[in-house]
Chain A
Amino acid sequence: MKRKSLITAAALLAAAGAIAACSPDQGKSTANAGGNDASSCTNTIPKKQLPVVTMWGWYPNTQLVVDNFNKQSNEVQVCWTNVGQGGDEYDKFQTAISAGTGAPDVIMIEADRIPTFQIQKALVDIKNYGFDAVKANYSDGAWKDVSIGGAVYGVPVDGGPMAMIYRKDIFDKYKITPPKTWAEYEQAAQKVKDAGGPLFGDLGANVPAVMMALQIQKGATPYAYDPAQPESIGIALNDQASKDVLDYWGNLARKGLVGTQDQFTPEYISGVINGKYATYISAAWAPGYLTGAGVGKGEDTGKFAVAPLPQWDSANPMQVNWGGSAFSVTSQAKNPELAAKVAYGLYADDESLTDGWTNQIIFPLNLKALNDPKFVDLKVSFFDGQQANKEVYVPAANAYTGMTYSPFGQYYFDSMTKQIGAVIDGSITGAQAADRIQEDVANYAKEQGFTVQ
């Protein structure tokens, strides 16, 4: 009896050991893997003799982009890991910063997060590592979003010029034309509702970046931040424009004109597929996402179209941006100069860019692609052949002038999400939400040692 149990236990141990031994990253070789260790790449490195730069990113076609880069480069190879998307990746990066180890050499981040990491000295200024050679490849606005003061903390890849995606079948059925202003948007919503139609749009608590962009569109300037004086920051999250926009959406929700579903959830996708929402206020990368989620296929084919974002003042239109990412070099990079080569070169070759925009995964900021007639004139199949880039997205991108982001983006968005949630459940008005966000974020800033103006 005893022998048998012992044998069982020994066998289990042996099995555990065997599995451990089988996995390629056993024991000590995995120390700091995913970050600085090249042994844990998702991709295969073709030129093994070259030095390796590690990279985190989540573009759906990253594999192809990395392969293209590695094929062309004779100086350096990229080792890529996908540690999660957006917030998940930032949490990992943040943790690695705190731990002082575990971060990759190059990281994909959204432009609005750059100040958050820069203030922790987690990013490297790459201006002296070949900026002049590629400067002309991007617009000044694109550079502005990744720069702080005179320093450059990222290489722009894609942007998210915003627009209004709508369902042609619903618009036809209720005889409405795409609204040009937010007042018209509300009227159209009311008209559809009165006729017993579906919801007109959606106010999602989990997309605070949209709310921020829409507030900026009305003239809000959430942050005033000069990196020359990093300890001082201006926070204006409850000015009239911010309040108005929150109130506007709060009212639409209260009147039942728009839904209050979190976006990107299965519930929301299902709603988009089944025509539960007449419009979707979103960015240029949205069609690729929706296609992947199963929208616009089967019965839905060709039902979608896109129109410019409604305006507050049609005489002075204002274009805004949602999402879009850059490649940054982290301060844990072993060889920043080499890492900068990767940041500048990755997703900058024609083949990768073309793959990105044909599949609508990215709205390219690289002028080579942006000015490419093939890109501009593309007849987008998701929009039933509409020349969406030429008509809507490219003009919107060209009119975009950049924004100033805060060094505590995570806290700001968390706070915003919470208060939008409160607006949705009707416990506070939009204006009250703006006041609370202001108070919350300002307190946090003071607590973190900033002087708030």
Chain B
Amino acid sequence: MDSGKTLCSLLKAIQFQESAVFCAMQEGLKLTVEEGKCVQASAYIPADNFNEYHVRDDVDVLFKISIAVLTECLNIFGSAEESSLKMYYRCEGSPLLLVLQAQSFSNVMTDCEIATQTADTLLELRDEDAEEESKLVLKAPAFLGLLADLERSCDIIEINLSPEHPNLSIVTYGMQDRSCIEIPKSSDMVQSFTCERAVTLKYQLYHIRLIMKALAVSNKVVLRCSSNGLLLLQLKLEKEDQRQMFSEFYIVPLLDD
């Protein structure tokens, strides 16, 4: 890979836990982080982001790795510096090897050996039976601005989706106040909007806030709600060379009490 910088910023965006599950597939790399069985965040790096990409197809390349150490290693020459990256992994139990070369200085090189562990099982949050009820495509920077405006002290965020006006409203309840943001589907930040019937969903605001770092590096966000209330956010990060990386967040709703 010519530049480890975008990869590093993507990984930082899902770095809310110490370790991640690293999975290499034919299509690309996937790193997954979980937060207390309620949020599952993944970063996808499609294989076309790499100049060369080989994965053995007869074995599962799956292991647990410290994402903090991985991002520090990728960032070893500082965030201002572009560096080329090579990544190697031999077999279960062997470390992940990284070779980084700074682009503006030819005389420096870094080797990293990062210890790997056997991967924990990940939550299977996707339910095949649950239908997708609504889908929204939003501009990531605008959505980030909106989330940043929300009162931090609130615990709960309520998302109302409806085919009627206003199509999307976000309500937070504070100590003494209730604040509501309404976004009609004609809004500039909404690129597409589909919703079959009105729904009200509640989430922990803290969980929603976890996606903010990823929003900051992304261009576009797709919000999907399924009939069981599971919220799926898919974020697309487009690089200068037109190649794309993705991140994905599954967020479990709060049950009505």
Instruction: Decide whether A and B are members of one complex.
Output: no
